[in-house]
Amino acid sequence: VKVVPAPASNSESSESLKESGPSKASDHDDHEADQEAKKENINGVSDPSPKDIEPEQREKANGQANDDAEEDKEAADEWDFERMARNRVKLYVLCEQRVWDDRGTGHVACLPLPDKSGFHAVVVRLEANEKNVLESKILLDTVYQKQQETLIVWSESDTTDLALSFQEKSGCEELWNKICEVQGKDPKECMLPGAPDQDENDDGESSEGASGSGNDRGGSNSNSTSKNMAFVLPPVEISRLNEIEFLLANNCNTGAQKERFANAIENQNYVQKLCDTFRMCEDVEHVKGLRALYNIIKSLFMLNKNTVIEALLHEDTLRDVVGMLEYDPLNTEHKPHREFLYERARFREILPMDNDILREKIHQAYRVQYVQDVCLPAPSLFEENNLSVLNSYIFFLRVDIVTLVSENKMLMNELFSELIDPNTNRLRRKELFAFLKELCAMSSTLQQSGPQSKEAFYKALMQNDVLCAIEPAMRSDDQDIKAIMTETLHMVVEYNSNACRDFIIRQCKDRRDDDILLNMLLRHIVSDRDPELSSATQMLQVMRMLLDPEHMAQKGEKNEFLHLFYSKCLPYFTTSLDEVVKGVNRPRKDDYHTAKKLSLVLRLLNFCVGHHSLPMRTFIIRRDFLNKVLVLLSSRHHFLALYALKLLRSVIQQKDEFYYNYVTEKNVFDKVVECLVDNGRRNNLLNSAVIELFEYMRQDDMKPVITHVVERHIDTLLTHTYVKTFRELKLRYDQNKDREEQMRRAKEEGSSSGYMREPKWKSREREMEKEEQWFDNEDEEEEEEAEEKKEEDE
């Protein structure tokens, strides 16, 4: 193929092709396109490869090839054909930016090649300079598409897409018939199903016609329907699987194309025929056919059409569809998906289900989720939207399952009666909590309100006293039960934390501290035996949601709940911290698991400092809590030391005079300076965090704390000369002292002279008052004179 670059200027506009018109994505750059185009000249003779020519013959062969190419070019330019309105066209080439580039206006003809080889070529000659801008040989495997009655589109290679836009319909019809004749096809039957609808582009919007006026969507839909009825997919035969694979992979780029394929697949019962052919291929071990079927099924999922997805996931075809997805050409090992889904996977009916529809939907949801997560390849960034229908299919299955379960009062009563019963055995309780957790997880995708909503589901849970099932689970010694319960509680609290707080307040009355439910939840944070404390971390999130004052509905509820927490729960919760640091200068236990648990304790305390100013301040000051926490600065686990330092910074950040007095009176910064000295000149995160704390104090000019630190530790701090923070801290201290001295002297001078000099702004204010009074008096005098004059006139 030869495509000549576009002329410098061309004022004529496109008759029927928009820039966003029919296109196929180009996956290679222009250089590769040029190389591909050079492989074949207009005569169909391949250029000789340097590997096949001896070195001494190379120069001669190259010269001969250049001479032949020049002769062919001159011969093609001399071809003569009609130049009439019906064969007047515009040539477009799809550029790298996926925009149709106008290469000029000319006339087109389908002419036999001069070498008498029997091949024909599509030739476009420009009007401006009588030069051929296109010479494209018609090959049997080239797929041509006729669109909009005035448009012919085709791909010369994987990198070059071309389009001819005709001025008149008759010219387009004439060339189309000629191309079909050369390829040996019937023009009425060779319309490719992948051709975009004449009135639709990729977004489903109407395109401009030859006259420039758009068609309405109603006409587009009726036109599309008539074409879909006429289109027939290739028959499903083992010998034609590669053809079907190619057709689906290369002609489903637009919404209109996908719609045509979806309608044809539904009308021809195509999925069932593919399943029949798959069983035949497996019987004869036809590996190539099985791999082609894998790509076909994957392409059918990517069509993203409801009718196709429903046919693929129907109970009569799903097993064979899963079987086809076992033969991924990219995997050398065969994956037994069917064996796992239909033989190894066992459905355990935790509660008796007399509803066959519910049972079937549970089976179906599990298998479809497996197909999406395991069988289908992970979608790329550009393919994520192509599985939206499959995601919706799973979503509505979950909606149906949650709705059917929550509306089954007998099933819900049995579920929660067993969960609340303290005599339920450990294994049974674990199964029931797992069932409840799956229900809550499914409900997370529901809408917020409505008959089938998250609100209706959690309302049903609350009516069945779901929170009463927490206490028996927390009393269990099984860590798995506690972990499942924590996940379930997290979802319940996240949806309705107020109801959970009300239940905890009612439950704690007339109970010992150990039996309070809130203490049971806190105890789980410091007693979790998981090495990574995943369940404890999730319980920490639950506690933060419960203690967040922004989520508390009423002031009375807030005060009552916080009083319960700080009087009966927080002292109990910090016992594990006291056991490690009380009365010592270094932690008694400094293993990794203990450090992780204490870090969770510090994270919750840090949250309380920022959200509960008054009760947390009282707790810290009365118990001298910071001096206990800062013992952890000497831990060999730096992450724990950083959490301890972060708590001190949060306290200082409150800029509270009570905190300032506490920090200075209890010499809290002694341990911070010791940590800095012990760390030495090591440039690590702990060292940087300590320096940043002092820098923060200096920038915010925290006078009481700066004075305390400088007067007590400045000699030690100034030995760290690799940063200027401590020198500037001393400078700020000196400036504050000078300012205080000046104010003291000014005060003494004023008291010794008997009066204090009045500020300028006050004297100026008094002068303005005098001026206003003068103006007011003057106005009164003028009014009196006016009245006297009036009386005299009378």
* Nearest to 338, CA basis, from 354, 350, 322: 322
Question: What is the Cα 42 distance to its own chain's centre?
Answer: 50
Mapped onto helix, strand or coil, the DSSP state of residue 127 is: coil
CA distances from 366 to 44, 305, 394, 442, 586 (A): 55, 21, 9, 12, 53
Q: Is residue 769's pLDDT more than 90?
A: no
Q: Which token pair is 330?
A: 């990219």
Residue 114 burial by Cβ neighbours in a 10 Å radius (0-12, 13-18, 19+): middle
| d(C-alpha 160, C-alpha 646), whole Å | 61
Q: With bands split at pLDDT 50, 70 and 90, how would you rate the model's confidence at 580?
A: very high
Q: Domains (ranges, CATH) in the chain?
A: 1-190 (2.30.29.30), 193-198+230-328 (no CATH), 346-377+384-465 (no CATH), 593-751 (1.25.10.10)
Q: Is residue 793's pLDDT more than 60?
A: no
Check: CB of residue 404 under 8 Å from CB of residue 361.
yes
CA distances from 102 to 15, 30, 214, 463 (A): 11, 17, 21, 69
Counted residue by residue, the chain has a size of 794
- Looking at residue 105, the DSSP 8-state letter turns out to be E
In this structure, the dihedral spanned by the alpha carbons of residues 266, 268, 271 and 275, taken in order and rounded to 10 degrees, is 160
Which pLDDT does position 29 carry in this prediction?
A: 41
> Which residues neighbour 155 within 8 Å (Cβ) at sequence distance 6 or greater?
24, 142, 143, 161, 162
Which pLDDT does position 382 carry in this prediction?
A: 55
* Nearest to 3, CA basis, from 137, 128, 116: 137
| d(C-alpha 549, C-alpha 555), whole Å | 9
- Residue the block writes with tokens 């529901």: 446
Summary count for the chain: helices (H), strands (E): 34, 8
Which pLDDT does position 148 carry in this prediction?
A: 67
| d(C-alpha 309, C-alpha 303), whole Å | 9
pLDDT tens for 402-435 read 988 988 889 999 999 999 998 889 999 999 999 9
Q: Is residue 510's pLDDT more than 60?
A: yes
Q: Is residue 603's pLDDT more than 80?
A: yes
Q: With bands split at pLDDT 50, 70 and 90, how would you rate the model's confidence at 320?
A: very high
pLDDT tens for 215-237 read 333 333 334 333 433 467 888 99
Q: Is residue 319's pLDDT more than 80?
A: yes
Q: Which token pair is 464?
A: 């069945």
* Nearest to 17, CA basis, from 198, 157, 143: 198
Tell me which H or E stretch contains 147: strand 144-147
* Minimum mean pLDDT range among 283-297, 335-349, 449-463, 569-583: 449-463
Check: CB of residue 88 under 8 Å from CB of residue 167.
yes
- Residue the block writes with tokens 């979806």: 262
Which carries the bigger pLDDT value, residue 336 or residue 201? 336
* Nearest to 622, CA basis, from 673, 580, 586, 574: 574
Check: CB of residue 717 under 8 Å from CB of residue 701.
no
Which pLDDT does position 526 carry in this prediction?
A: 92
pLDDT tens for 32-69 read 444 444 333 333 333 444 344 444 444 444 454 445 44
| d(C-alpha 568, C-alpha 510), whole Å | 12
Dihedral of alpha carbons 780, 783, 789, 794, sign: negative
| d(C-alpha 458, C-alpha 463), whole Å | 9
Q: Which token pair is 449?
A: 């309100």
Q: Which token pair is 65?
A: 């090839």
User: How far does the chain reach from its first CA to its final CA, in angstroms?
Assistant: 115
